[in-house]
Structure 1
Amino acid sequence: MRQFTWTQKLKKLPKWTPYLVFLFLSIGSIYFTVLHNQTIFYGDDLSFNLSRIEGLAGSILNGDYFPQINYFLTGGMGYATGIFYPNLFLYPATLFRLTGLSLIQSYVIFILLVNFCTFVIAYHSFLYLHRKKRESFLFAFLYGLSSYRLSDVVFRAAVGEYLAIMLFPFVFVGIYLIIFGDEKKWFLLPIGMALIFFAHLLTAGLVILLIICFLVMNGRRLWREKTRLRSLFFATLTTIPLVAVSLFPMGEQLTFQRLRVQDNPVFYLQKTAKTIGQYLEIGVKNSGYNNLGLLVMGLLLISLLRIMKLSSLGKQLILIALLFFILSTSYFPHWLFHDTIFNMVQLPSRYFLLVTFCTLWAVAENVTKLAFSKPKVVVGFVALLLIGTLISNFHSQMSTMGNGARRKAKYEEFLAIDGQKELGYGVEFLPSGMTSWMAPTGLLSNPSGEGVTITDMKRERNIFTLSYDVAQQTNLIFPLLYYKGYHVEGTGDFSKVHDARKFEKADMHGFLEVTVSGQGELKVWYVGTLIQKVSFGISTISWGFVLIYFIRKRKID
């Protein structure tokens, strides 16, 4: 009777088997922390991101399919999340919400979808470059269950970052092809970079740091093969129009007015950096927002001890992982960079994304060189990791987290979310120096004084209308946060919209104001800016070309 080796048996499995496993892992890895008893951790950014979804759903119902201003946040006064936090990847959760599911149900299904896509993208990215199914599955398994990613999903509810983690392997394929592989396929990098940008701007910055590391390590190679440098240049230029829809409006708003993010950094790197011992302690507990996990730290150490046995790419990845692990610790003088662009990283633990990815890719690529040459050892290692991860997640769910941002909450607690106070940790995109906070009535704040008559005040969706009759020049202050793009039209003598000044001796800076005289009518609403509209057109056309290219290429192939 013919005997089959483990590898041969693996090849005999149906092609859909990995996806079935990924589906099981997508559910099982978060079952006790997100699904069990309909209880979820009240993560740092959970309410903010739920409010983003609810605001997007409300805008779509009102016919605004690409909103720049979220009126659910701030109770109707409008927060510019559409400008500073691209909505692209929130549309699936929003569509679930529009079908009638509750907000938290929509979010939970969204998490499961992201989990599954993370495994699939990781699997196919590795498989595309190395053509090894066993190693590809191992990488996807380790990457999808990595402690840092699960911490983002469960404890932080950091939607932007765990979306970026999902996309990171695809971006790496683009980087690899330009520097090590077929540089003629450079167009994959700008597509990946654009998607990362739409998911999480700070992670796009980390990708740039990764590219810089590879450029330094492979300087001689690139100098000899200048076609690779040209491909990188083309990729960079191509990325700009693809992200124009978000990049240019963001820059326009930051130059139009000063926002809190430009004055007061939300975090300082030195204050949040920890020692290696503290990271080890967090890894043992397997909970917290800055959890690299013992597995990645252990594999990084093993890879360093056996670095000479690794492939050339594996060596570079491990050295990059070590570099960013050092950067994440308090041993590095972060205080030197507090007033530089590097402070935008906010949390040194964000470097763990690079540490995790580089370590796990190097291990999967060189698994047979790291004392894991026997298939049974690999199977046992994988099985133990799966059991350990599920038990750890169960322990995290059952353990007492205390009060505060990471308390456990039943799904029904989110039925009453109103968005008024859910602006994110740093409220960084409020106007700088804003001191007053108007009660969000949804209507005009009446000016006081004799000879002032305001009638027919109403608000339909996000359009304010009124009639006025004033004896002297009067400032009308609206309960709307002041951003570029608001417009006023009507009859009579009235000014353009501008930043508010005083109201009953209170400084109303940060709210929208219109100055009127005599009699007339006003209509105020957000119409956007020319740059927003042109940028939308540029990106739409650019993505159209990308789509046409792939359609034609598929027909040719």
Structure 2
Amino acid sequence: MRTTVKKILKQYGWQLELLLFLVLSLLWVLPWATSGKLYTGDDLGFHLNRIQGLAQQLKLGGHWWQIPAVSTTAFSQWGYPINLFYPAVTLLPAAWLQALVPGLGGYYLYLILLTLTTLVIAAAVAHKLLGNRALGILAAVLYTFAQYRFLDFFVRGALAEGVVFAFLPIVFYGVYCLAYGDDRQWYWLAVGMALVALTHVVSLLLCAVGVVLMASLWLLRREGLARRAIHLGYAAGFAIFLAATFLAPLAEQLKTMGKLGVQQYTLITSAMEPGELLRNSLDNALSSAQINFGIIFILLTVLALVVWRKLLPLDRYYLIIAWVFIFLATKLFPWQLFQNLLGAIQFPWRFLALACFPLALVGARAISVACRMVTVPRQFLVVGIATVAVVGLSLSLNNQLYQQTTSANTKIVTAATYPAVASGDITTDYVSQKGQVSMAAVRTHSIPVMNTQTNGQQLADLQQQGRQTVANGFIYQITSEVPQTIKLPQIFYPGYRVTVNGRTQRPSLDANGVVHVKVPTGRSTIGYRYQRTVVQRLAAQLSFWSWLFLLATPLWRRYGSGLQMRFRAYWQAHRVANK
């Protein structure tokens, strides 16, 4: 019997693992998916608008593989260039799914896909780090069903931060390779950091701090410091190349737009009180005002301390670095000294995301040691029991959250309300501070309203006949009885171009960044469209060739010598045949 099980696992191991992860992914979203409802929490409405904007741009004629710079059909439909400031690469699958299954169904499918991806990546990395497939699966389950990840998706609605969980194990493995393992595999860190950069900018800053701290792993080996430092430089540079398609346009916009409307926070104020963090974790609190990392990781920490002497040095390091990140989430760290440098992270408790994977690793090892997971049957038993316990707790918390939020809660979305919620967000984080005062008028999409005089009267000699939404902007139809300069209900961003009756016109801007154009007497067609800038085009080329090089190099190393030998043999046979 045991031999048969081993044979099946050897022959169909990855298929069975994938099937298990698919079932777990379905279970993770099951309570909400079967209810036909969705709790938006703090930020999910914003992210649903991002998804809806991408999906609608595809319907307006955009390329399925290309991310539009502006959103003309969401965020109150004024042409918000959200994708220049907030990376959208990892939202493209959500947009494709919306094209197939619109509304809540498409979003739930996206969550299933994200959870499956997170499980697969976490299991692969944990397998390499722990040296055991069963432990890899257990660590992946502990990580993917972590309380903090649950809060990100279902309580806070922080979709982008939740997506980043899929890539944090790659970052962790990249640092492991550079500081302790085979530093010739530095490219893993580049890939992980690039994927984070293409998902959530604040998480990129968190990961940069995390990489600096996790470089201390070198102390366990103390070998090849200079060589490893050089490879770290390679990883940093290549990560920038891979993510240049987003980072370069972002830098271009920030340089032009100046100070934006993103809300600022004092880090020492937004950090957690240590006692509060522990109490929330022991309670598995389900509120965005009660951030925590869950009772499971507390219990696993206690178990790891109990079996401390039987843990490997690497396992002990995982536990220590995890609690360093937890320490950074609290007011115990002197955050007031780093306000200017790291103020963009807004909330120090975001470091809890970095603590989850090392806690899952050491937790899996501690369970293995405590339960003596030596034989295959025992591994099956322990991993099965632990998985059922973790998933069962997650389902219970999901049900508890559902009961708390579905009674007369304005943040609940149904199939009927989804279209309005996913297109009407009024966020202005990425509008310059000087342009904020004009946003109420901009959202009317009305040229007459935009040109209201100081006495409150609209211009009698100016009428708007229509406004057409296109993939990259808008077309206005107006009639003016006199030649004049008028305001468009648009805030200017680098890349937007104006045409009046087919002729390109360089617009003027007022102090608020509102676009002014000259129109002649009579009927005019005004086009206001976004065109990719030179910086965007060059950055896209740089990223494309960098990704191609990254993918082609290992393939060439693996198959190149064989291809060369075959070519030489063919050439020699050809020469002999022609003699």
TM-score normalised according to structure 2 size? 0.84
How far residue 458 of structure 1 moved from its aligned partner, in angstroms, is 4.2
Deviation readout 1:36-85 (Å, 9 max, x if unpaired): 32122222222111111111112122233321111223322122211111
Relative distance call for 1:383 and 1:484 in structure 2 (3 A) is: same
SS of 2:494's equivalent in the other structure is coil
Aligned position for 1:394: 399
2:77 aligned partner: 76
Structure-1 separation of matches of 2:7 and 2:390: 24
For 2:132 and 2:98, locate their aligned partners in 1 and report how far apart those are by CA, in whole Å: 39
- Closer, same or farther: CA 411–554 of 1 in aligned 2, 3 Å: farther
Shift of 1:431: 1.4
Query: Could you say which residue in structure 2 is the equivalent of 1:41?
Result: 39
Report the counterpart of residue 194 of structure 2 in structure 1: 194
Structure 1 residues 230-283: Cα deviation after superposition (integer angstroms, max 9, x where no partner)? 211111111111111111111111110124346x41x33233333233223333
User: Which amino acid is 2:437 matched to?
Assistant: T
1:156-195 matches, cutoff 5 A = 156-195=156-195
3-state SS, counterpart of residue 292 of structure 1: coil
Deviation, 1:518, is 7.4
Q: 1:378 to 1:98 in 2, by over 3 A?
A: closer
> Which residue does 1:525 correspond to in 2?
529
Q: Match for residue 49 of structure 2?
A: 51
Partner of 1:31: 30
Aligned to 1:543: 547
The answer to whether the Cα contact below 8 Å between 1:493 and 1:516 also exists between their aligned partners in 2 is no
In structure 2, C-alpha distance between the alignment counterparts of 1:413 and 1:471, rounded to whole Å: 44
Contact 1:494/1:517 (CA < 8 Å) preserved in 2? no
2:488 to 455, 478, 481: 478
Secondary structure at 1:70's aligned position in 2?
Answer: coil
For 1:63 and 1:551, locate their aligned partners in 2 and report how far apart those are by CA, in whole Å. 35
The equivalences for 1:234-313 within 5 A come to 234-261=234-261, 264-265=263-264, 267-283=265-281, 284-289=283-288, 290-304=291-305, 306-313=307-314
Moved more, 193-202 or 341-350: 341-350
What letter is aligned with 2:230?
A: R
Q: Distance in 1 between matches of 2:256 and 2:46?
A: 25
Q: Deviations over 1:164-200 (max 9, x none)?
A: 1011112222221122111112222211211111111
The two structures have a TM-score, normalised by structure 1, of: 0.87
Distance 1:494 1:15 in 2: 58
Q: Which residue number in structure 2 is paired with residue 505 of structure 1?
A: none
Identify the residue that residue 231 of structure 1 maps to in structure 2. 231
Q: Does 1:444 align with 2:447?
A: yes
- How far the C-alpha of 1:522 sits from its partner, in A, is 4.4
Q: Secondary structure at the match of 2:437?
A: coil
Residue type at the aligned position of 2:95: T
- Flag the 1:495–1:111 CA change in 2: closer, same or farther, 3 A: same
Is 1:464 paired with 2:475? yes
Query: Could you say what the CA RMSD is over the residues aligned between the two structures, in angstroms?
Result: 3.2
Task: Give secondary structure in 2 for the equivalent of 1:331.
Answer: coil
* Farther-moved stretch of structure 1 (462-471 vs 149-158): 462-471
Give how far 1:153 is off: 1.6
CA distance in 2, matches of 1:171, 1:153: 21
Q: Does 1:337 align with 2:329?
A: no
Correspondence 1:105-116 to 2 at 5 A: 105-116=105-116
> AA paired with 2:72?
Y
Deviation at residue 292 of structure 1 after TM alignment: 0.6
Distance 1:88 1:48, change over 3 A: same
Q: How does 1:65-144 map to 2 (within 5 A)?
A: 65=63, 66-99=67-100, 101-144=101-144
AA in 2 matched with 1:388? L
2:346 match? 346
In structure 2, the CA distance between the partners of 1:366 and 1:297, relative to structure 1 (3 Å rule), is closer
- In structure 2, relative to structure 1, the CA distance for the partners of 1:452 and 1:327 (3 Å cut) is same
- Secondary structure at 2:423's aligned position in 1? coil
Which amino acid counterpart does residue 31 of structure 1 have in structure 2?
Answer: L
Q: Which amino acid aligns with 1:200?
A: H
Picking from 485, 489, 492, the partner of 2:499 is 489
| Structure 1: stretches of 5+ with no match in the other structure | 502-508
- Higher mean alpha-carbon deviation, 457-466 vs 142-151, is at 457-466
What's 1:19 paired with?
18
Q: What SS does the aligned partner of 2:286 have?
A: coil
Match of 1:506 in 2: none
Are the structure 2 counterparts of residues 237 and 157 from structure 1 closer, same or farther at C-alpha, using a change threshold of 3 Å? same
- Number of residues of Structure 1 aligned to a counterpart in Structure 2: 539
- Report the Cα distance in structure 1 between the residues aligned to 2:92 and 2:464, rounded to whole angstroms: 39
C-alpha displacement of 1:527: 1.4
Q: The residue matched to 2:429 in structure 1 has which SS?
A: coil
Q: Report the 3-state secondary structure (helix = DSSP H, G, I; strand = E; otherwise coil) of the residue aligned with 1:29.
A: helix
Aligned 8 A contact 2:45 2:425 in 1: no
Query: Per the alignment, do residues 285 and 220 of structure 1 end up closer, same or farther by CA in structure 2, a change over 3 Å counting?
Result: closer
